[in-house]
Amino acid sequence: MTEIIDFIKNLADAEWIISHGGLYLVMLIVFAETGLFVGFFLPGDYLLFITGMIIANSMYPFDHSWSNLVFWNTGISVCAILGNFVGYWFGKKSGRLLFERRDTFLFKKKHLEQARDFYDKKGGSAIIIARFLPIVRTFAPIVAGVVEMDFKKFVHYNLVGALIWVFSLVSLGFVLGENQYVKEYLDKIVIGIFVVTTFPVLWKIIRFK
């Protein structure tokens, strides 16, 4: 448990990310968070913001920062899209057996139920909205597979949701990456992003208890 907490803390440190795989690590994390139910604890939102800051101060793989922004936005979006496809496939293959599975440290049935409730209310657009909601974004594609959502519709919502989520947060970090205030108060900004993106989920949990 301590190792997981330390890992999440390190993901708020741009230098640590760069020295441990760089943005390829980010791509792997985004895939895991959006495709594997064990990735629900990963901090996708503020990680994407920090990724934008890293891109703004990097000349890899191109010499022009804007070219790098497009390159990494595209690569990370592909990982987010593939992750949801894996989640959908897993949900479709596992079916309702997931809802009968016993809770473990990495698997909580209540997370699936929260995603299903959210999906029932929002329909296909839940796949897009869920991108901005921690925990829910991990389980929304799985639930879509369980209820056998029309695959063509899922493809559409998956593509749109991934592009909006990745491009908006990474680009925001990129634009603010050179701002001295942002650099000095990055820790507070990270906490703010975490609170803003997590509050809706916490409110939902409290409301439906």
pLDDT in tens, 100-138: 677 766 566 776 677 667 667 777 787 888 888 877 788
Least confident of 45-49, 57-61, 67-71, 185-189: 185-189
Tell me, what's the pLDDT at 207?
54
Cis omega (within 30 of 0) on the bond before 43?
A: no
Written as six digits, the tokens of 176 are 């603010």
The answer to whether 76 and 40 are in contact (CB under 8 A) is no
Tell me, what's the pLDDT at 132?
84
Rounded Cα distance, 80 and 145, in Å: 16
pTM of full prediction above 0.75: yes
Residue of 171, 114, 174, 118 whose CA lies nearest to 128:
118
The parent domain of residue 65 ranges over 2-207
Rounded Cα distance, 77 and 30, in Å: 9
Number of domains in the chain: 1
Q: Name the one residue in this structure whose structure tokens are 């001295």.
A: 180
Q: What angle do CA 128, 198, 124 make, to 5 degrees?
A: 20
The answer to whether 169 and 142 are in contact (CB under 8 A) is no
Written as six digits, the tokens of 164 are 């909006």
